[in-house]
Amino acid sequence: MVFARRIIAAVLFAGVAFPALAQNSYVSRLYEQVLENMEYAQSGYTLDTFGIVRINSGETATIELDVPAKTAVQIMGDCDEDCYDLDLVVRNASGKLLGEDRLDDYYPIVSIVSDGSGRIALEFDLADCAASYCYAAYSVFIDRAD
């Protein structure tokens, strides 16, 4: 986990992979949140992937990912300061609902067990945003004991 944190920090501070994004203060704060989420992940879980997406107010952004098959997965989301309600729905490759968090907050957390394909879709619904768009971050943690 320390190694992953150092890689993320290097990307953030050097701006090598995302030079345009590193200049945006909202995006920088969300990457800091990804680092913080590593502290809150369930014991035995490690960061598998993370990212940031821009979502227009009232719309949904879908991110498709591959995770290890038949493995416990925890997905955490977070939104910038203009966001009041961010929801998360997780589906498998055929569209079956695996889990969701539709609470009235800006930090959805969903725990699932991936199916045989390992393909999942994260659907982030920006239910309430004070601006015309918001940035949302996601962190995907994998149970390495599986």
Rounded mean pLDDT, 71-97: 95
Rounded mean pLDDT, 73-77: 96
Q: Quote the number of domains for the chain.
A: 1
Place of tokens 């890689």: 7
pLDDT at 83 over 60: yes
Indicate which CATH number applies to the domain containing 122.
2.60.120.380
Structure tokens at 31: 């990457």
Query: Rounded CA gap, 64 and 4, in Å?
Result: 22
Bridge pairing between strands 72-79 and 133-143: antiparallel
Place of tokens 């009232």: 58
Structure tokens at 87: 């929801």
**Tens of pLDDT, residues 37-73:** 888 888 899 999 999 999 999 999 999 999 999 999 9
Place of tokens 């345009």: 20
Distance of CA 12 to the CA centre of its chain: 16
Residue numbers of the domain that contains 76: 2-143
pLDDT at 81 over 50: yes
What's the whole-number average pLDDT of the chain?
Answer: 85
